[in-house]
Structure 1
Amino acid sequence: MSRIMSPKPPFLFTTLTYVGWSLFWLLLWDIFVTAYYMLVLDPTYSLPSMPVTLMGSALVVLISFRNTSAYNRWWEARTLWGGMTNYSRSYARQVLTLIDDPQDGLNPVKPLLLKRHLAYLKSLSAHLRGEPCPTDIRELIDWQEQARSDQTNNFPNDLLTTSAALLVQEYKEGRLDSIRLARLESTMVELSNCQGGMERIANTPLPFPYVYFPRFFITLFCIIVPIGLVETLHWFTPLVSTVVGYMLLAIETVGTHLQNPFHDSELRIQTETICQNIERNLNSMLRDARDERLAAAGKAGPNELPCLFT
């Protein structure tokens, strides 16, 4: 029923509207040029086509450079989030295996650290988009710490620092030796490196000429194309010219979406989905560790030890 009530837009409609109103104005211009040439202009008047060929060749090179740079930014951001996923699993595994447990159950600092790590990931996702911390992290950290999110310019880094302080406290209390602490710290350094790479991409946009000039030259090319084709194609000029212009506008739009991989666009990296996947992984790992400790302590009941979520 929901599929009937909210049908997915047809592929053709999505394709035609991808570049917005630019396609409509392009079609109007092509029709105007064709009608003016066929109905008003002296038929003996010859229009040159060589500028279209030369400008089109140069434009393809310019767009290729720009879109390659934009895609490299997008792919690097996705690679960094992939690294964040892998290091999160490693961090959870180290927390669950390297920190000593009491005789009668699971060390309560373990679910606490994993909760904090999930809060770190969710706050980082919002931080990269320039948004405030999501409200659902209140279930993961205490309200006093969450209230400080508006008073710092990098709340995810603060969460990571406080988690490191908890590990140091475990070391001081004898539940973690220096070698295991160093191993956990090295994983947190890798998490911080991934965060730094993402912040570099989010805070360093492409140079303005890379963004402005492709759009400007594509617009200029779309204006010139029907003038160079109308003498040969006559009334078919709007069809061919509009298709050529649409192809260039669509490629330019793809580059525009790719250059900001964290901001709202059709091609942005779905960091919320990645965080949900990591959340499921951490829950599964914590439950396995809990069940193992229950079995070792000779206890029964799946809910006697804490988990990430109830």
Structure 2
Amino acid sequence: MIVRGKPGFLALFFVYHGSIIPRVIPQILLVALLSSVVVWVHLKFPSLFPQLNTASFGFIGIALSLYLGFRNNACYDRWWEGRRLWGQLLFEGRSLLRLGLSYGGGQSALHRHIVQCLMAFTDCLRDQLRNQDPMPKVRRWLSAADCATVDQAVNRPDRILQLIGEQIALEVSKGAIDSVTARNFEQRLVALSAVQAGCERIFNTPIPFAYMLLVHRVCYIYCFLLPFGLVADSGLATPLLTAIVAYAFFGLDELSCDLEQPFAINDNGLALNALTRTLERECLQTLGEHPLPPPVASHNYRLN
């Protein structure tokens, strides 16, 4: 995720870190090069290109803008839902911590087990959403026996929540907590499971491929045909005009690709490491740990 203030008027045109330009510069240069060739041919052979009506390109451009706008809105909805779900995870995690402190105490085995499993759950869910192996980080928090059961589970984050549920059931059987309190714990676990299911829904359900392919094709076709429609009226300015159009269309298309997968590690992905570290610091503080790990800082305006 890019975190930086709004640049000034002049700096706005020279911002590089966080800009989409580095990723679309090949398409922009290709369109500008094609436009330059078209301009050169038009200067040598003026009669080769007929006077085209640019209104038709305007209609196609409007249609393409609508396609890109719809796709960007759909992708942003996925990004925002992912952020909302991780905000809910922080909320439910803090609620679970309060229950553990209230009914177990900061140094009790119950609270320590909840803290360890909660951190293992967030680390596991984050890495699973990023197609990374979660077990190295899970081993930081869980015992060897618990890690073995988690590693063999089909759904690892859910298995970690089950470990908390098993510990709550054990406390009930010993008479340490009553059934009403146990139900409160279970409600928090159910809410965390719902957060996991929502994240998995986003992760496993991409925007339909056919729609993405349609937008890509129309972008390329439009930008490749545009120089032929502008050269007669725009002359030497054609490469600049087509490059600006290519930047707008290809940039929006590339941005939507980032927003489509909000949990991926890219410039516009959610800062899951920072969110996980926030909860980790709060968890360790309840155990009296010192010093706490520092918050995740941005590097070159990027916060992961």
Post-superposition CA distance 1:18-37 (Å, at most 9, x none)? 31421221111111112112
The match for 1:263 is 264
Residue 124 of structure 2 corresponds to: 123
Residue of structure 1 equivalent to 2:296: none
Pairing 1:47–2:47 present: no
Counterpart position of 1:4? none
TM-score normalised over the length of structure 2: 0.86
Query: Does the CA contact (< 8 Å) of 2:42 and 2:49 recur in 1?
Result: no
Counterpart contact for 1:74–1:258, Cα < 8 Å: yes
> What does the per-residue CA deviation read over 1:164-199, in whole Å, with 9 as the maximum and x for residues that have no partner?
000110111111101111011101111110110000
Deviation at residue 154 of structure 1 after TM alignment: 1.3
Q: Distance in 1 between matches of 2:16 and 2:43?
A: 31
**Which residue is equivalent to 1:95?**
100
User: Are 2:29 and 1:24 equivalent residues in the alignment?
Assistant: yes
- Aligned length in residues: 279
Aligned partner of 2:15 in structure 1 is 11
Which residue of 60, 63, 70 corresponds with 1:65? 70
CA shift for structure 1 position 162: 1.3
Partner of 1:166: 167
Q: State whether residues 211 and 256 of structure 1, in contact with CA within 8 Å, keep that contact through their aligned partners in structure 2.
A: no
Q: How many angstroms does 1:285 deviate by?
A: 2.8
Query: Which whole-Å deviations, capped at 9, do the CAs of 1:279-301 have from their partners, x for residues lacking one?
Result: 011122333xxxxxxxxxxxxxx
Deviations 1:7-53 (A, max 9, x none): xxx72485532314212211111111121122223178312312211
Query: Once the two structures are superposed, what CA deviation does each residue of 1:96-132 show, in whole Å capped at 9, x if it has no partner?
Result: 1023x5xxx8322211221111011100101112221
Equivalences for residues 1-310 of structure 1 within 5 A: 11-12=15-16, 14=19, 16-42=21-47, 45-99=50-104, 106-287=107-288
Give the match's secondary structure for 1:267.
coil
What whole-Å deviation, never above 9, does each CA across 1:203-237 have from its counterpart, x for those lacking one?
A: 11111122111111111110121111111110111
Deviates more, 1:207-216 or 1:55-64: 207-216
Structure 1 consecutive aligned stretches of length 4 or more whose deviation exceeds 3 Å:
12-16, 147-150
Aligned counterpart, 1:296: none
Gaps of 5+ in 1: 1-9, 288-301
**29 and 148 in structure 1: CA distance in 2 versus 1, 3 angstrom threshold:** farther
Higher deviation after alignment, 73-82 or 110-119: 110-119
Distance 1:115 1:308, change over 3 A: farther
- Please state how far the C-alpha of 1:155 moved relative to its aligned partner: 0.6
Letter paired with 2:228: I
- The farther-off stretch of 144-153 and 241-250 is 144-153
CA drift at 1:134: 4.4
Distance 2:46 2:187 in 1: 74
Runs of 5+ consecutive residues of structure 2 not aligned to the other structure: 1-13, 294-304
> What amino acid maps onto 2:137 in structure 1?
D
Paired residues of 1:71 and 1:258 also in contact (CA < 8 A): yes
Q: TM-score scaled by structure 1?
A: 0.84
The 3-state SS of whatever aligns with 2:47 is coil
Give the whole-Å Cα distance in 2 for the aligned partners of 1:128 and 1:232.
51
CA RMSD, aligned part only? 2.2
